[in-house]
Chains A and B, each alone.
Chain A
């Protein structure tokens, strides 16, 4: 129903029941918000969005208050501005004064608020909460002192990821965000997907950085070969960190920049994705033939793997044994470099650039090391790569694109597809089809697996197999279909799970963004790459084929199972 309201003395038509904030936005009036998360019920916690409504005793929060006929609203009266300003001052009075040392310096919502509201003097001061920095987890750092208790991480953790690790603890000004029994993140149910980092307005949650180690190694190489490799999603997101259009593909610039930084070799990690696809297709075929342990659960997402280990240990036999693409690349590099340049594995320093803090966690798992030497030494997120590039004073705009080092310089677009949700399923399907029927698909695009739906399903005939491929993202959706999976007569054959909504392009280590369009652009970019690619199938990647014949033998054969596969076990964790 259309109604008329008055905003700052202007008559405006709006829809009844719409929140005041939505109406203001439509009319180009900007109101600061902090606790608001798009598509979530407003909690009304931060009070920054207050406006003055005639006839009301108090200011009202525009994010939750519905519009009513004839309302007279003032959005920037003296009273309102003073109130907003005071609220931010109150936050600052309990905030560590170390902006200059903060991860989010220059990219912090609290800083922006303070600047926008023109806070130039400390009027309110007092005791600040002291809290321990939680460094226990290899992927995520939690610094409660910087927390403004907006609760966004909690809601993401519960409503999107559904791990529900984070919750408020205590009350009043002793409230903090904490895990159950206030354990360190590493000892909690946290799967380190990093979605909480993406929504945190301040530096209270951020990825753990290993810059020191990188700098030290790069600066003091003596005899060590330094290798960098990047996941396929990084290629389409890094651009945003340098003011370029979301979705712009800058693989060549990344290669160049990494070399400038000092890496001896730079590899395209999609190579690992191709191998992942080869292995998983073979594994799936094997299980289909034997009719056991179906559906096959994808294993590319380390957050999902940890969730299976802790929450659904009964599903472990269903989990694919293939390592994640990054870990495959890592394992292969160390192996390859050793055999060609005759170096011991120790002498290789391998850095993976990924979209994801969980990959940091994965890289230090004991399953991902051989004889105590990890396959990947350091994992960086996309955001960290951007920082590294800046640290080494590289102007990315002035670089000339370069290509990656041989042999891992070529990949199929199937490997790239894995960056977005549904892509793994598509890629595996393509190779499986070839394996079963001996021919390549003519039109290898599956719209049913693409898109933003949380659960997607595709049924089709591949040779003599009637296949049901599914794709699930975000992680919370798994809970809904769990009964189906456990059911004896489960008719799914393959389940692709991505913890982050939208897949790796929206990973917890990707650049911060505010508009949902950004995410769409990233996904589109991935699909475009596939569209235009000359090599659309993992098994047609010549480098991969050569590699198999030279080193690994058959996919899912003896040697590859030794190097590329692993077993996971149950974890005992307070859930």
Chain B
């Protein structure tokens, strides 16, 4: 991650206020997909906060990650409705099939998994999204198929 790119983001926040911490981290993550030590340091210098505080805040919120995302980012709904319709099995299936759990990225950097709360479409659950494409009424088999498709598209 380049320093001056972070600087560019920081420039959007002309006031040195702690209130800006979370928005800044969100912007950085939006740009790069994850946070780094470099980012923690720069943001700390800018907001005049100790690095430990930045790190502490970043690790509190589940959306921040210090590991790069996979090329294909899988979002699996585990809202109550999807759960009742069998989403837990899907999470296990992803683990079985790709070896990744919530918040992890596969060794080859291809897939990462994020378990999210209700996606707002409970009627069509279980729901998942892969790189912003949505899939509804997922079953274990369907999941496998979808993942295979993406895998193939890479080969």
Contact = CB atoms under 8 A, between A and B. Distances in A.
Given A167-B52, A171-B59, A574-B41, 14 more contacts: A163-B50, A165-B52, A167-B50, A167-B53, A167-B56, A171-B62, A178-B55, A180-B50, A180-B52, A181-B37, A181-B55, A574-B40, A574-B51, A575-B50
Contact of B55 (A163, A167, A171): A167
Contacts, number: 47
A170 B59 contact: yes
Given A574-B41, A575-B44, A181 B56 contact: no
A189 interface: yes
A202 interface: no
A169 B59 contact: yes
Interface residues of B, number: 14
A155 to B, nearest CB: 13
Interface string A259-300: 000000000000000000000000000000000000000000
Interface string B54-92: 111001101000000000000000000000000000000
A551 interface: no
Contact of A575 (B37, B51, B56, B59): B51
Nearest to B57: A167
Interface of B: 37, 40-41, 44, 50-56, 59-60, 62
Contacts of A181: 37, 40, 51, 55
Which interface residue of B40, B44, B50 has the most chain A CB atoms within 10 A? B50
Q: Is the interface of A mostly helix, strand, loop or mixed?
A: loop
A455 B60 CA distance: 36
Given A181-B37, A574-B41, A169 B50 contact: no
A180 B54 contact: yes
A164 B55 contact: no
12 contacts: A164-B50, A167-B50, A167-B52, A168-B56, A169-B59, A170-B60, A179-B52, A180-B54, A182-B55, A189-B52, A574-B51, A575-B50
A180 B40 contact: yes
Interface in A149-205: 163-171, 178-182, 188-189
A428 B151 CA distance: 74
B60 A166 contact: no
Nearest to B55: A180
Interface string A552-575: 000000000000000000000011
A163 B50 CA distance: 8
Given A574-B37, A574-B40, A166 B52 contact: yes
Given A164-B50, A574-B51, A169 B41 contact: no
A291 B34 CA distance: 51
A182 B40 CA distance: 12
A179 B54 CA distance: 11
Contacts of A170: 59-60
A231 to B, nearest CB: 30
B59 A189 contact: no
